[in-house]
Amino acid sequence: MRDHLRAGVAIFNDGHYHAAHDAWEERWLDLEAGSDDERLLHGLIQYSGAVYHARERNWEGAVGLAESAREYLGRISADYSGLHLEPVRSFLAGLAADPELIERRPPVVLAHDGTPPSLSDLDFGSTAIAAVILAEEFGYDPGPIEQARAYARRDLEAGADDSQFIALLFDFVRADEHRGIVFQRLREHVGRRQAREKDVDGLFGSN
């Protein structure tokens, strides 16, 4: 829950409002309806949707989602799961009353554990989630990212402290200007690892 929550918060705070909901939705779909965790993620998903539609000048959609998000987030404590929700509720109330508010004020950033995290603040667990989501958002093939994530987790379990997969996943998430170059390097590393694994498998496979 925490990794998905924090990944979505950082993606939202960095201005990728459409992508943010994917981090939350991935976890939300597995939660029991009506639980506080489900209400929190449901409300955040609708908050990101309200902001996205308001920025697209879909006023009716923005109002409906803002009202619904405020309702969900109003059913849990204002500091639930380390989030500071009161400013978000207040902004949603204003957006529901006047969706053109988005053109005069930026959305309220989400504070988690006392500060508003950005993509550069994420640990590996949240970064691994954000990497796949951002790949899909920006039109990169998510396959190599998912494979790199699997290799990175395997390296972590093996105690490796110099994993290129871990470093490249961090770079992919954080390096806006060089994301394309990082993706190419990451795909090459994945290809080399897969080739080595195939070679090893061939040594012990049946003729």
8-21: average pLDDT:
95
User: Rounded to an integer, what distance in angstroms lies between the CA atom of residue 40 and that of residue 26?
Assistant: 13
- For 25-84, what is each residue's pLDDT tens digit? 988 988 888 899 999 999 999 999 999 999 999 999 999 999 999 999 999 999 999 999
Phi, psi dihedral angles at 115 (to 5 degrees): -140, 155
Say what the pTM is.
0.90
Place 207 in a pLDDT band, splitting at 50, 70 and 90: low
Place 202 in a pLDDT band, splitting at 50, 70 and 90: low
Reading the block at residue 79, the tokens are 């500091």
108-136: average pLDDT:
95
